Amino acid sequence: MNFEHLRALAAVVDEGTFEAAADLLRISPSAVSQRIKALEKAAGQVVVRRAVPCTPTEAGGALLRMARQVQLLEAEARDALGAGSARTATPLAVNADSLSTWFLPVLQEAAGWAGTTLDLHVEDQDHSTRLLRQGDVLAAVTADSRPVNGCRAVRLGAMRYVPAAAPDLRDRYTAGGIVDWDAMPMVQFNSKDDLQRRFLASRDVGRRPPTHMVPSSEAFVAAVRAGLGWGMVPELQVGSDVDDGRLVLLDPRAHSDVVLYWQSWALQSERLERLTQAVRRAARVLRGNGPEAS
């Protein structure tokens, strides 16, 4: 398939519209449309949903994966030939809690990489493999140990979450040493976040307590500190809060460990390998860290 047609597909998906893709490629919108139509004719089916933003169809996702692989390998071939290349975007999916904690050293390393820019997609670890399957990203931090077709999976370790609350909130909903889980408000990251619900289910709590949605990793912890509600807080973000008295553990013995994996395309790529090694080094702070390839 024509490289320029694949490049147009990636631009349309990344930029969201044909007009924005045209600006990126420095061609006219009609030229972008012609390239997409030619690609659809070659594929024998529609590859882009014409909406705002534009999204790939299932067939488009397969072609988008190829488009990104071609772009990556093309950039590396130019480097090998000494021809130089423009900066190549490396799209990744990382869950918010990882991005706010152990993943930060990866960003520090990437600051020194010539010819590479990161395009971070923040997605829940239970759903990030969808972005790999769609071709939206080259690699992802995920809770899924099963490699996506065409990808490798490496075990990184576990993020531990502990049930925490502000002391005043705990005292208000505790009588005789027993927490009123039905009534005490809780904080939830978003609709995909089920850590709190699973914790309550383990205590046979059937009713859903008053729930505040706070879709930001840093703001989530700040909301728990402020007494808005209790929440399953990443151990890496608790820091000295318990020692300082800003947070209390509602059950010091309770925790939830989320095992994380790094999935990346199985390409012989120096850039992907460099990124993978940076991620594995940063993940050494996770519990049970051990690089087991799947």
Q: Is residue 16 part of a domain?
A: yes
Name the domain count of the chain. 2
Mean pLDDT of the chain: 92
Q: Is residue 250 part of a domain?
A: yes
Per-residue pLDDT, averaged over 51-75, amounts to 89
**Domain span holding position 247:** 159-257
Q: Is residue 200 part of a domain?
A: yes
Report which of residues 193 and 83 the model is more confident about. 193
Angle 140-145-146 from CA coordinates, rounded to 5°: 95
Res. 181: pLDDT tops 50: yes
Read off the pLDDT of residues 80-124 as tens digits, 9 standing for 90 and up: 787 765 667 889 999 999 999 999 999 999 999 987 889 999 999
Q: Is residue 263 part of a domain?
A: no
Q: Is residue 139 part of a domain?
A: no
What is the distance between the terminal CA atoms of the chain, rounded to a whole angstrom?
Answer: 31
Tokens of 80: 């090998």
pLDDT at residue number 291: 45
Rg (the chain; Cα; Å): 22
Read off the pLDDT of residues 257-287 as tens digits, 9 standing for 90 and up: 999 999 999 888 888 999 999 999 999 999 9
Tell me the β-bridge partners of 285.
Answer: none
- Calculate the CA dihedral of residues 11, 15, 17, 18 and round it to 10 degrees: -30
Distance CA 153, CA 174 (A): 44
Tokens of 56: 């790939």
Per-residue pLDDT, averaged over 196-201, amounts to 95
Domain end call among 33, 51, 86: 86
Distance CA 125, CA 130 (A): 10
Q: Is residue 247 part of a domain?
A: yes
pLDDT at residue number 294: 39
* Cβ–Cβ under 8 Å, residues 64 and 136: yes
Q: Is residue 140 part of a domain?
A: no
Distance CA 29, CA 21 (A): 8
Residue 185: partners with Cβ closer than 8 Å, 6 or more residues away: 169, 209, 210, 211, 212, 228, 229, 230
Distance CA 56, CA 63 (A): 9
What's the CATH number where 239 sits?
A: 3.40.190.10
Q: Is residue 294 part of a domain?
A: no
Per-residue pLDDT, averaged over 6-11, amounts to 94
